[in-house]
Structure 1
Amino acid sequence: MTSSADEEEILTLRQVAEFLKVTDRTIYRLAAAKKIPAFKVGGTWRFSKAEITEWIQQQTQGGKADKT
């Protein structure tokens, strides 16, 4: 799989939880509160891997800005 195909990948709630090393419930709460980029397909949450990666970078930058 190439990196561009990897960036276009759509993840399930469980895959995002595993990727971020948190519980499924944590991801569900973040998605429902619109604190993490997500969308629903047929009533189930889905996530763009590229958007999740970007969100992680934004969270990291925000955390650094708060500490200075």
Structure 2
Amino acid sequence: MSVEEIAAYLGVSKDTVYGWIAKREMPAHKVGRLWKFKSEEVDSWVRAGKASDESNEPSVRDAREPERRASGEKK
């Protein structure tokens, strides 16, 4: 699944997904510049309660930083 698909599947924004990748060790696989997800892995991660910690909100910038460096985009 893509970022857009997993966000829709979980009912959250793409920014939330990027934040979870960066700060909450959401199971994701980088394929080139794209993040890909296996729904079974994400389901297990959610069931383990790793998505529910609302304190210390994740930083979307942290998850997107490698994409910016790869594309030459400035911060």
Question: TM-score, structure 2 length as denominator?
Answer: 0.59
SS at match of 1:45: strand
Q: Residue 35 in 1 paired to residue 28 in 2? A: no
> 1:59 aligns to what SS in structure 2?
coil
Gaps of 5+ in 2: 54-75
What is the identity percentage for the equivalent residue pairs of Structure 1 and Structure 2? 29
Query: What is the RMSD computed on CA atoms of the aligned residues?
Result: 2.2
**After superposition, what is the alpha-carbon deviation per residue over 1:17-36, rounded to whole angstroms, capped at 9, x for unaligned?**
10111100110111123521
**Residue 57 of structure 1, CA deviation:** 1.1
| Count, aligned residues | 52
* Segment drifting more, 14-23 vs 32-41: 32-41
Q: TM-score, normalised by structure 1?
A: 0.65
The unaligned stretches of length 5 or more in structure 1 are 1-10, 64-68
Which residue of 2 is the match for residue 18 of structure 1?
8
The structure with the largest alpha-carbon Rg is 1
- Name the structure with the higher helix share: 1
